[in-house]
Amino acid sequence: MITPVENADLTALNSFGFASRAQYLFDVASDAELLEAVAYADERQLPFLVIGGGSNLVLDEYIPGVVVRQISGGYRVLEEDEGSVLLEVAAGQNWHQLVEQVVDAGWSGLENMALIPGTVGAAPVQNIGAYGVELKDRFVSLTAYDREKQVFVEFSASQCGFGYRNSVFKSVAPGRYIITRVRLRLNKQFVQKTGYGVLSQYLNGQEVTARSVFDAIVAIRQSKLPDPRDLGNAGSFFENPVVPVEQCEQLRAAHPDLVAYPERDGFMKLAAGWLIDHAGWKGYRTGRVGVYEKQALVLVNYGQGSARELMDLASKIQASVMEKYGVALVPEPRCYPQ
């Protein structure tokens, strides 16, 4: 039987470092403990929020109801053949630590996603990705608890509805499913994916291995993104917007140095950081929050800032980019209470 912490301090559990308290906080390490936390909330008709590493959250000063943090970790090998391994990973496992562990084990497929903050359970929600690789490329299936039907269910890759930084867990049924285990298939032989410009430049002249790609991406990300322990942030704050090719061509005619990449047939992905930078926001500071001086895509808390200050700044950036480029920016982090 587990008991919640009342009036729990969440300041250290969100990477922005915003002062926040939860009415009740449960740390759960098993399916049985998760069910206890769900029952506690349901019996009292309380709001319910699951957090992972806190790196994709903007928390207000007070979070009513039950907050659950999954602390289960580790992985096990379910299948293995000459070319691949199938891993089952606990939802509470730190993502970056998992990536390093599989690289050390000699398996390939996750190295491009090194240093992405957060937990494995949160990874499918956003369909996390970086440097030309997304979670869906290695995803096989997951187990989740369905709060509506009150049973554990399985999701295949097709059932997850993965899109760019999107899934059914985010856009169709937010809050309904609590992911508990994720299964990933990795290669035993290194499969190189280094076409992303800055990555190929960094690796130029080096022997390219899973470890060298991992090390390169860690170095690149550390050069661009502040450590949340030093400067509160949630990494990239806005999604890179996807627009029709025609709109991209019109923007490029007016802004020849516009940064854009092919997304899918008929669409282009614009670099949100470029839009924000060229709208004049890079390095901007207002009170206790601002835009990181080295990367316009990162909003930061300089200390003692609040979620409301940050979201006010985000709204102003969105309005500015819409006015200048006619492009809508969508925040990546989840905001609570909504």
What Å distances lie between residue 328 and 233, 238, 240, 270, 324, CA to CA? 22, 10, 10, 11, 11
Q: Which pair of structure tokens corresponds to residue 15?
A: 């990477």
Question: Does the annotation count 176 as an active-site position?
Answer: no
Options 236, 239, 306, 334, the catalytic residue: 236
N-to-C CA span, the chain: 31
Options 165, 181, 185, 334, the catalytic residue: 165
Whole-angstrom Cα distance, residue 131 to residue 325?
A: 25
Q: Which of helix, strand or coil describes residue 8?
A: strand
What Å distances lie between residue 271 and 55, 236, 248, 275, CA to CA? 21, 11, 11, 7
Question: Does the annotation count 332 as an active-site position?
Answer: yes
Whole-angstrom Cα distance, residue 211 to residue 99?
A: 10
Question: Does the annotation count 236 as an active-site position?
Answer: yes
CB contact at 8 A, 186 and 107? yes
Backbone angles phi, psi at 27, to 5 degrees: -100, 120
Whole-angstrom Cα distance, residue 83 to residue 188?
A: 5
CB contact at 8 A, 296 and 276? yes
Options 111, 134, 332, 334, the catalytic residue: 332
The residues annotated with a catalytic role in the active site are: 165, 236, 332
